[in-house]
Structure 1
Amino acid sequence: MKFKSLKTRVLLWFGSIVALLLILFSFSFYYFYNKSINLSLETRLYNQARYLHETVLPHLKKGEIIDDDRYDSLQIAIVRGDDIVNQTKKFHLKHFDTYLNATKPFTSIADDEHMSVIYDFKFQKPFEGDILLYQKEIDDKAENVVDTLLVLNPILLLVLLFLGHQLIEKVLVPIRSVTQIAKNVSVTNFATKIPLPKGEHELKDLVDSFNTMTDRLKEGVEKIDRFNSDVSHELKTPLTVIKGEIEVSLKKKRTSEYYQQTLHTIFDAAHQIQRIIDDLLFLTKFSKKNIKTTYRLSDLDAILLKTVDKYAPIAAKKSIKIHLDRLEPVAYLVNPLLIERIFSNLLDNAIKYTPCDKNIHLSIYQDNQVHFKIEDEGIGIAEKFLAKITDRFFRVDASRNKSIDGFGIGLSIVENCVNLHDGTLKITSKEGVGTTVEVLL
């Protein structure tokens, strides 16, 4: 039978362990207590036997009766060979010879609530013989303890179960509170915060972790909503263009030149959609699990020079000068495709947002880290937008115009590529002055 309640399962485990411990304790206590009683009786009989041997036996004549009154309930017999030469009047131990040949001198016999003990003391002088001491109907204290334990153990178990139940209830109170508040959290409701409990304990860490998780979920949902909105907007525009051009073209017959112009417009819109899809697929192509298998020892300075050569004609159209302030040989284990994408996207952005006749400065070098820095004299980014600038499809309002091509995915790709290399991306900017981006690997 399975118990779904955590409290019930904990209580069952607790009860089982306590019951097992009580049983083990009872057996151990009985064993050692019984052993202690037997040892005490054996010691007393041994001392009595020594007293008889040293004090009484030298004065006894063969066949003389030992005085009973001096030894209370103790029965005594002095044996020589197989014959009893002296004894008390009430010595009635049957088959006494069995105990003479026993391996141990002390023997105890349990009988209901009483016990009997026999002790065989062997001596050599004044003749070779044995002193047998026999005492019966001794109150069995060990058995009394067993009876007491049989009554106390169930009571103790019930008391401990009750205390365990109360303790579990006390522990579960704040957990139930956390659960109740957690049930109210949903995709549309992240406002609820669980109050931090007082004191330093695990539950406080749990609540703190939960609150942090809800903050992350809220941020993630907001990003997804913004992503859905932006991707819908970015794809809707070229699709609307395509649909509009086709509808106009189908209304009546057009000239071949008009159809050709329409096809060019549709081609540009389709190409725009293809670029958006390619960029989105690129973001999901690599992961932390597979990226390291693609690492190669690459010359990053050579990749940068190749990228500069690629974008030099585009910069020249705006009379923008690209300066290599610090170019040092850097060989590093990387994915060369991703590194080239980092350089391309950052340089492309710098050229896009830098006015004509301005400058772009590049540096790449290595100390304890690889440093790549790009500084432009562009329009800059307001401080309030810096935290969101790497989000997918995010574009600063001032840049949302048709004169600047792009979809707001470039910096998101850069950040993803840097993260896949366990690197750091630093962006600083000032409106009207320019932007500095530094990549650390």
Structure 2
Amino acid sequence: MKSLRITNTITAIIFLLIIFSIFSYIMYNNQKQMLSADIDTFLYATSLSVADSINILLEENKIDVSEFNQRINQYFQRIIKSWISINGIEDPKLLNMLVQIYDRKGIIIATSRQGPKMIMKISPEEFKILASGTNYTGTFDIDTSNKKTLSLRYISIPVMNQNKKIVYIIRVALSLRTMTFSMYNLKIVLFILIPFTIILSGILGFFLTGFTLSPVNKIIVSINEITAINLKKRLNVSEYNDELKILASTFNDMIERLDNSFQSQKHLIENLYHELKTPLSIIRGEIEITLNKKRDADTYKNVLLSNIEEIDRITRILENLLLISRFESKLEVTDFGKVDIIKIVSEIAERFKIVCDPRSIILTMNSCPKAIIKGDEKQIKSMIVNLIDNAVKYNIDRGSINIFISSENGKITITIKNTGIGIPEETIDYIFDRYYRAIKSSGTKGAGLGLNIVKTVVDIHKGNITVRSVVNNWTEFEVVLPEA
């Protein structure tokens, strides 16, 4: 149990770490791209705004382009202050911004603040791109005095005349410190805090699972105390008020069924011992008596006939057990076909007349002209044999057995009514249970298997069976099956 908890916890943690790592990686890069795009957009808009301010200044003061280089410094700081005032001084981006003006040769002529030499000049490669009328965007990595790196994002745009020649160049740069700090914090959250939270949650989940499963461990201990010789022990359902109560109740029901099954097997063995012991003892005794001295032919014949009867009885018991076993293991293959009920019942009734004659039991049969069902002939024969055998077994000497077969409304009804000891009303609901015998008198032979087989066959053929009885008078079994 513990190893399973550990395995499941580790698996869940690893799975979540992988999922969230992928999610964090995608989110981090997406956020970085969005912030970079936002800065580039801001720089581009700022550079255009500065260019517009310079152009307005040139027009208002009627400054010729040829005088631009000499007079731009005179007005540049005023332009920057005016532009910041218009756009809002509260924006921290504007305060961390660097604005530079270059002449048509790429030489710096004005700057909003001094900076490292590397950002004060335009490289030949950058100037070549700008001369073609294309904006240039780049990043400077500057080493500061405290041995840290400061990154600046910048954009350079050329201001062209009508002849597509550069008049001047505007470069606007912005520190990426805020963005770097934000991305660093995001990285801490995504790649440290979230994994730590997942691992901590997994550990807490491990202990919480152990706490939750403690009642299950208690159930396991109780289950281990239940053995084949201690099937009467049950789990205490009252200790639980949730799904475990359902589990405990289900387990108790299962143990109840197992106990019943063990008891049934025990009864079966006991019944088989008595049922097989009697006919075998009879056979052995008759043979021993016959062998004690020489007998006439009729005596030998009677002994052999008696032995055959006892052997038939043993055979029926074993056949019933085999059939029940095949039903339970689902090895019994049902071969459905057209079955002539009248023919089958007539043949079986004729065989049973031999058994009825010594006890002066009158067996009669009345039927409709035709009764055909769709079923398994072997199983139907077993059903009829057990019903008639039951009628003979629990009959009285000089009693009667009446068999009726009728067909009505697409149903075939087989009714077997016999005189005899009858079945107590309180036991009728149990007579189809395996190994159950309503009448447990010493003079009545049986293992309690026949009626269980009858009920199973009826159910397989989608029929129904009813029982009516009057104690010490008569019993009637009525089987209704669908007509073919």
The alpha carbon displacement at 1:335 in A equals: 0.5
Q: Which residue of 2 aligns with 1:283?
A: 324
Instruction: Structure 1: give runs of 5+ residues left out of the alignment.
Output: none
SS in 1 for 2:416: strand
Asked if the contact 1:107–1:119 (Cα under 8 Å) also holds between the matched residues in 2, the reply is yes
Q: 1:246 to 1:321 in 2, by over 3 A?
A: closer
SS in 1 for 2:177: strand
The alpha carbon displacement at 1:294 in A equals: 1.5
Q: In 1, Cα distance between the equivalents of 2:281 and 2:349?
A: 36
Q: Which residue of 1 aligns with 2:12?
A: 14
Asked if the contact 1:427–1:437 (Cα under 8 Å) also holds between the matched residues in 2, the reply is yes
The alpha carbon displacement at 1:32 in A equals: 3.5
Q: In 2, Cα distance between the equivalents of 1:367 and 1:82?
A: 113
Pick which of 406-415 and 84-93 moved more: 84-93
Q: 1:191 to 1:115 in 2, by over 3 A?
A: farther
Q: In 2, Cα distance between the equivalents of 1:127 and 1:72?
A: 36
Pick which of 358-367 and 53-62 moved more: 358-367
Q: Which residue of 2 aligns with 1:255?
A: 294
Pick which of 105-114 and 338-347 moved more: 105-114
Q: 1:92 to 1:214 in 2, by over 3 A?
A: same
Q: In 1, Cα distance between the equivalents of 2:154 and 2:160?
A: 20
Q: 1:18 to 1:37 in 2, by over 3 A?
A: same
- Percent of aligned pairs with the same amino acid: 21
Q: 1:79 to 1:127 in 2, by over 3 A?
A: farther
Q: Which amino acid aligns with 2:461?
A: H
Candidates 178, 183, 188, aligned match of 2:224: 183
SS in 1 for 2:270: helix
Q: TM-score, normalised by structure 1?
A: 0.79
Q: TM-score, normalised by structure 2?
A: 0.73
Q: 1:293 to 1:384 in 2, by over 3 A?
A: closer
Candidates 379, 390, 407, aligned match of 1:338: 379
Q: Which residue of 1 aligns with 2:49?
A: 51
Candidates 233, 242, 267, aligned match of 1:226: 267
Asked if the contact 2:106–2:122 (Cα under 8 Å) also holds between the matched residues in 1, the reply is no
Instruction: Tell me how many residue pairs correspond in the alignment.
Output: 432
The alpha carbon displacement at 1:8 in A equals: 1.3
The reply on whether 1:360 has 2:363 as its aligned counterpart is no
Q: Which amino acid aligns with 1:385?
A: T
What RMSD over aligned residues (CA atoms) do the two structures have, in Å? 4.1
Asked if the contact 2:387–2:416 (Cα under 8 Å) also holds between the matched residues in 1, the reply is yes
Equivalent runs, 1:13-412 vs 2, <5 Å: 13-59=11-57, 61=65, 62-63=68-69, 64-65=72-73, 66-67=76-77, 70=81, 72-77=95-100, 83=106, 87-88=110-111, 90=115, 91-92=119-120, 95=123, 96-97=126-127, 100=130, 107=138, 114-121=150-157, 128=164, 131-136=170-175, 138-139=177-178, 140=180, 141-196=182-237, 198-199=240-241, 201=243, 203-244=244-285, 254-257=293-296, 260=300, 264=304, 269-285=310-326, 289=330, 291=332, 294-308=335-349, 311=352, 317-319=360-362, 321-324=364-367, 327=368, 329-355=370-396, 356=398, 358=400, 360=402, 362-365=404-407, 367=409, 371-391=413-433, 394-397=436-439, 399-401=441-443, 407-412=447-452
SS in 2 for 1:144: helix
Q: In 1, Cα distance between the equivalents of 2:258 and 2:429?
A: 17
The alpha carbon displacement at 1:55 in A equals: 1.6
Deviations 1:65-98 (A, max 9, x none): 4439746443334568774575425442653348
Pick which of 294-303 and 119-128 moved more: 119-128
The alpha carbon displacement at 1:380 in A equals: 1.4
Pick which of 62-71 and 169-178 moved more: 62-71
Q: In 2, Cα distance between the equivalents of 1:12 and 1:102?
A: 59
Q: Which residue of 1 aligns with 2:477?
A: 437
Q: Which residue of 2 aligns with 1:417?
A: 457
Q: In 1, Cα distance between the equivalents of 2:224 and 2:424?
A: 39
SS in 1 for 2:362: coil
SS in 2 for 1:380: coil
The alpha carbon displacement at 1:12 in A equals: 1.4
Q: In 2, Cα distance between the equivalents of 1:336 and 1:392?
A: 23
Q: Which amino acid aligns with 2:151?
A: M
